[in-house]
Structure 1
Amino acid sequence: MKFYKPFFSIITILIQLMLSLKHHYEHIKWTEEMKKTDPELFGLICYNTTYTSLFIFVCIIGFYEMLTKPSWFKTIIRIFLVCIILGTTFSDFIPIDQFYYGVYNTAWFSAVVTIVLILVRIGKYSFGKINDRKLNKASR
């Protein structure tokens, strides 16, 4: 398995990591303030943290982009990664109700499809290696 021009994916994964850490520190700050001001209300609030899983989704899609040979499909994956990052970052400015969760769910679905594609690629690679070994032993 070979990585093809992984620089773009590494940069997008690092950007998403920084954004996730920023959201995490904001969450910690908000949690401490809520515990101090109204601990009873804090016990009732269910705060959904999606920034951690969003980082995992971007990491999976970015890893698949690294494995893909340069082609139009690789360009589409790159555009898609940028749309995920920009869509979640600037979702507050887009006047569509629940836009963030739409982008999040799209990233989730894409990460699942990407995992399947990665497993297929690993399977093809490993079966190719096994067949090569059998051919090498047979030729001796």
Structure 2
Amino acid sequence: MPVGQIEIVVRGQGLHEFTDRAAEWLAGQGVGEGLCTLFIQHTSASLLIQENADPSARHDLENWLNRLVPENDSLYTHTLEGPDDMPAHIKAALTATSLSIPVQNGRMLLGTWQGLYLWEHRHHAGRRRVVMHVG
């Protein structure tokens, strides 16, 4: 059962698609059928399957979550790493840190308009790791 890791460079807060990179990794594993599990190794980012055709859907999701979990809330005590850190942890807790996708004929069975996204909840650019397992 192959396990691998892909690194995703993020430009800052938002949805960063990595469907092609995940599909490329999967194709190299020689697995015909199974289940592909993705897991993000961070507490201030998450994973999402979302529409990949119209960018306005992603924009609306980002705006909605930012409104739901605002920065600079007076209730936050975890503020040492900046005003976006505690909201990022809350956003990651409300969304997904792992995804499971069926695999058939060596391909993820994503729907026509579905893509894989790393949802970065912090403002800064950086690198994030996603572990992939197929079995």
TM-score (normalizing by structure 1): 0.28
TM-score by length of 2: 0.28
> Which structure carries more strand by proportion?
2
Query: Looking at both structures, which has the greater relative contact order when contacts are Cα pairs under 8 Å and sequence separation is at least 6?
Result: 2
Whichever structure has more helix as a proportion of its residues is 1
